[in-house]
A and B are shown apart, each in its own frame.
Chain A
């Protein structure tokens, strides 16, 4: 029973990827752009869920890595004069190193304290980027980052985003299913017991934070490809909260949940803010409804129904 359920899921994923590959053939330019934004935001939310949902670590300010990845890429392309492709390696690496540093400082603390110190360190990074006019462009950000020819067209940017997102999602999935992923989930459920059976709790959490920082950075550099800009609000704490909402909305415990949550939030933001300036009000009300009625998220709810069905047949 379980196997066929898994098989059908795999089929869905393959079908989804094929449809995503065909998007630019029949969609207008704006929708292709939107799809790319959804993919990279979804990757960012998934990398957050890697530590938040699977690791149980209160990473409240994940947007910092997203922003730092984007700034790393953009600044590398603009200021170094080296091969622009190098920027796409440097951005995520800088984000990963930052993830490690912030992790080293925070990892001794528990839950809420961890989250608050993380927000404080993230705000520190934001404040530096916001003020450092000569290097980061300050609150104006950087516009018009020159890109390699292949990915500078809208379709090129879309395919680049799709392929990189796909590979990253696959790597993260393999990691969750690996012994390392199991150890991480074990730590989430019972840190004391994990410590007792010989898991190095701090080390595993640090590793997870570094990996999450890296893939957050990947999402950030993809944003540079798709949007050609970077700005300090990419790492403001309210965006981090939105990322957490995406995870919650889609479901913490389903792998594709955050991706779906990202799709819902990005689409809603695009369309609702086209109709009214009160987009935040709508988002707030949706969040409250989800927290009250769907604490496991939409995919979590679907999973529950599927499982009930499977039990009945």
Chain B
């Protein structure tokens, strides 16, 4: 441990860990967005709303189960499924009629949906701040590198990130639905021509993408105050991550989230007042040199 500290100061190291746990949230949400962009070609602005709904559902579920530890684990399972149900209804009632529309219209339409979702959340949960308690066994801090306190819950996030990444890789590469959806991303007419019901493939991919948004919302809930408007900044960040990673590329989303999370947390260290400026600057620099993102886009 001491050998690490000889090269980097403990302040920077802990800030990197903070950045990495933020990266996990960003990656989970952005990978869902990327999946939907890659396969369905919908720039889904309402994705951020589903993240917010996930966080609010986590609040409700965890309170139904009496808060605390049981509440958290129940929320982690039930809330993403609830978000998936909401997105399934939205997909079957609205989105499935829109796949052929041009991107500008889709962007506006999903923005309209995000407005509707935002007000529905206000209607159901009200405009107050909500908080989800951190489960008992993740409470507290551990001392890192000789005396730096680091929240245990963030370690849990750091474990969740790779787990989700591996699951997503297995889903897209090893399962039938993953293979079909990758084929549909390249040529949807051909997939339809070989007798596969493309409409349902799209529905499943859409629901999985939204489930990831909901999962991100649940995971972030114990670390922030759950409130209206938490979707507005996140959706812009998620879009930028997907763009710098390469549209539709899940690994690009991971790379983009890493860049975004780390520049954000290290930026605060360099220049506390303008810390939020750094990730945007990183995006600009990436796009100036690689206009279509770092990794290969499916578009």
List chain A positions with a Cβ less than 8 A from chain B.
58, 60, 105, 108-109, 111-113, 115-117, 119-121, 123-124, 127-128, 131-133, 236-238, 241, 244-245, 248, 277-281, 283-285, 287-288, 291, 295
- Return the contact of B108 from the options A112, A278, A279, A291 (Cβ within 8 A): A291
Q: Would you call A124 and B281 a contact (CB within 8 A)?
A: yes
Q: Would you call A280 and B116 a contact (CB within 8 A)?
A: yes
Q: A58-B104, A119-B239 are in contact. Are A280 and B287 (CB under 8 A)?
A: no
Give the complex CA separation of A248 and B109 in angstroms.
11
CB-CB nearest 7 A-B residue pairs:
A284-B115, A281-B119, A287-B112, A284-B116, A124-B280, A280-B115, A284-B112
B247 cross-chain contacts in A, Cβ below 8 A: 112
A109 cross-chain contacts in B, Cβ below 8 A: 287, 291
Q: How many residues of chain B are within 8 Å of chain A by beta carbon?
A: 37
5 cross-chain CB contacts under 8 A = A121-B280, A245-B112, A278-B122, A279-B119, A288-B112
* Apart from the given pairs A120-B284, A291-B105, 5 other A-B contacts in the complex at a CB distance below 8 Å: A58-B104, A112-B247, A278-B123, A284-B115, A288-B112
Q: Would you call A119 and B284 a contact (CB within 8 A)?
A: no
B280 cross-chain contacts in A, Cβ below 8 A: 120-121, 123-124, 127
Give the complex CA separation of A120 and B292 in angstroms.
15
Give the complex CA separation of A238 and B45 in angstroms.
11
Helix, strand, loop or mixed for chain B's interface? helix
- Return the contact of A291 from the options B112, B120, B123 (Cβ within 8 A): B112
Indicate whether B243 reaches chain A with its CB closer than 8 angstroms.
yes
Give the complex CA separation of A280 and B240 in angstroms.
25
B274: min CB distance to chain A, Å: 6
A237 cross-chain contacts in B, Cβ below 8 A: 232, 236
A236 cross-chain contacts in B, Cβ below 8 A: 232
Give residues 270-294 of B contacting A (CB, 8 Å): 273-274, 276-277, 280-281, 283-284, 287-288, 291-292
B107 cross-chain contacts in A, Cβ below 8 A: 60, 115
Indicate whether B103 reaches chain A with its CB closer than 8 angstroms.
yes
A111 cross-chain contacts in B, Cβ below 8 A: 103
Q: Would you call A281 and B120 a contact (CB within 8 A)?
A: yes
- Return the contact of A283 from the options B115, B232, B287 (Cβ within 8 A): B115
B115: min CB distance to chain A, Å: 4
Give the complex CA separation of A285 and B239 in angstroms.
24
Give residues 96-120 of B contacting A (CB, 8 Å): 103-105, 107-109, 111-116, 118-120
B26: min CB distance to chain A, Å: 15
Chain B, Cβ-Cβ closest to A112: B103
B284: min CB distance to chain A, Å: 6
A67: min CB distance to chain B, Å: 16
- Return the contact of B111 from the options A115, A124, A241 (Cβ within 8 A): A241
A125: min CB distance to chain B, Å: 9
Q: Would you call B122 and A287 a contact (CB within 8 A)?
A: no
B287: min CB distance to chain A, Å: 5
Indicate whether B43 reaches chain A with its CB closer than 8 angstroms.
yes
Q: Would you call A128 and B123 a contact (CB within 8 A)?
A: no
Q: Would you call B113 and A288 a contact (CB within 8 A)?
A: yes
Chain B, Cβ-Cβ closest to A128: B277
A291 cross-chain contacts in B, Cβ below 8 A: 105, 108-109, 112
Q: A278-B119, A278-B122 are in contact. Are A116 and B288 (CB under 8 A)?
A: no
Chain B, Cβ-Cβ closest to A110: B291
Q: A112-B103, A248-B108, A291-B105 are in contact. Are A117 and B243 (CB under 8 A)?
A: yes
B70: min CB distance to chain A, Å: 34
A117 cross-chain contacts in B, Cβ below 8 A: 243, 283-284, 287
Q: Would you call B112 and A131 a contact (CB within 8 A)?
A: no
Q: Would you call A123 and B119 a contact (CB within 8 A)?
A: no
B43 cross-chain contacts in A, Cβ below 8 A: 112
Give the complex CA separation of A109 and B247 in angstroms.
14
B120: min CB distance to chain A, Å: 7
Give residues 36-95 of B contacting A (CB, 8 Å): 43, 94
A113: min CB distance to chain B, Å: 6
A60 cross-chain contacts in B, Cβ below 8 A: 107
Chain A, Cβ-Cβ closest to B297: A113
Chain B, Cβ-Cβ closest to A133: B273
Give the complex CA separation of A245 and B104 in angstroms.
11
Give residues 106-140 of B contacting A (CB, 8 Å): 107-109, 111-116, 118-120, 122-123
A119 cross-chain contacts in B, Cβ below 8 A: 236, 239-240
B25: min CB distance to chain A, Å: 18
